[in-house]
Structure 1
Amino acid sequence: MKFKCAFLSVLLLLCACTEGSKANIQPSTAAANVEVLPFKFVLDGLDRQRTVRLYLPPDYALSSDAYPVLYMQDGQNLFDQATAYAGEWGVDETLNELAQQQALKFIVVGIDNGGDKRINEYSPWENKRFGPAEGELYVNFIVEVVKPFIDNNYRTKPEPQDTAIIGSSMGGVIAHYALHAYPQVFAKAMIFSPAYWYSSEVFEFSKSHKAALNAKIYVMFGDKEGDGMIVDTGRMERQLKEQGHPRENMQFKRVVGGEHNEALWRQEFLPAIQWLFAP
Structure 2
Amino acid sequence: MKGSLSEHKAGNRRFTLYLPPSYSTDSREFPAVYVHDGNSLFHDEIELLESMFQQQKLPELVLIGIEPENRLDEYTPWPAASLSDQFTYFGGMGYHYLSHMANQFIPFIEENWNVARKPHTRGMIGASLGGLISMFALLKYPSMFGKIGSISGSYWYENAAETIHISSLQPGTVRVFMSVGSEEGREKQSIQQHMLKKTKQVHQSLKEKGFTEDQLCLSIEKGAVHHRKYFCKQFINALEWLYGKNRSTL
Shared fold (TM-score greater than 0.5)?
A: yes
* % same residue: 29
1: CA distance between counterparts of 2:165 and 2:176? 13
Map 1:164-183 → 2, pairs under 5 A: 164-183=123-142
Q: What's the CA shift for 1:95?
A: 2.2
Q: CA deviation at 1:205?
A: 4.0
Is 1:224 the counterpart of 2:183 in the alignment?
Answer: yes
* Residue 71 to residue 100, structure 1, CA distance change in 2 (3 Å): same
Runs of 4+ in 1 over 4 A off after TM superposition: none
Which of 69, 76, 81 is 1:123 aligned to?
76
Structure having the larger proportion of residues in helix: 1
What amino acid maps onto 2:5 in structure 1? V
Letter in 2 for 1:229: M
Amino acid at match of 1:232: K
Give the corresponding residue for 1:66.
29
Counterpart secondary structure, 1:197: coil
Mapped contact 2:5–2:16 kept (Cα < 8 A): yes
Residue 62 and residue 259 in structure 1: after superposition, are their counterparts in 2 closer, same or farther (change >3 A)? Answer: same
Q: State the Cα distance separating 1:79 from its structure 2 match.
A: 4.6
Length, aligned pairs only: 230
- CA change 1:132–1:209 in 2 (3 A) is farther
- Asked if 1:197 corresponds to 2:166, the answer is no
Residues 1-279 of structure 1 correspond to what in structure 2 (within 5 A)? Answer: 33-37=4-8, 40-42=9-11, 49-61=12-24, 64-80=27-43, 90-102=44-56, 104-114=59-69, 117-129=70-82, 130-227=89-186, 228-277=194-243, 278-279=247-248
Calculate the aligned-residue CA RMSD, in Å: 1.9
Q: Structure 2: 5+ residue runs without aligned partners?
A: 83-88, 187-193
Aligned CA distance change for structure 1 residues 97 and 148 (closer, same or farther; 3 Å) = same
* TM-score normalised over the length of structure 1: 0.77
Show CA shifts across 1:213-263 (max 9, x none): 211110011111125121001111111112222232110110011111111
Structure 1: where are the runs of 5+ without partners? 1-30, 43-48, 81-89
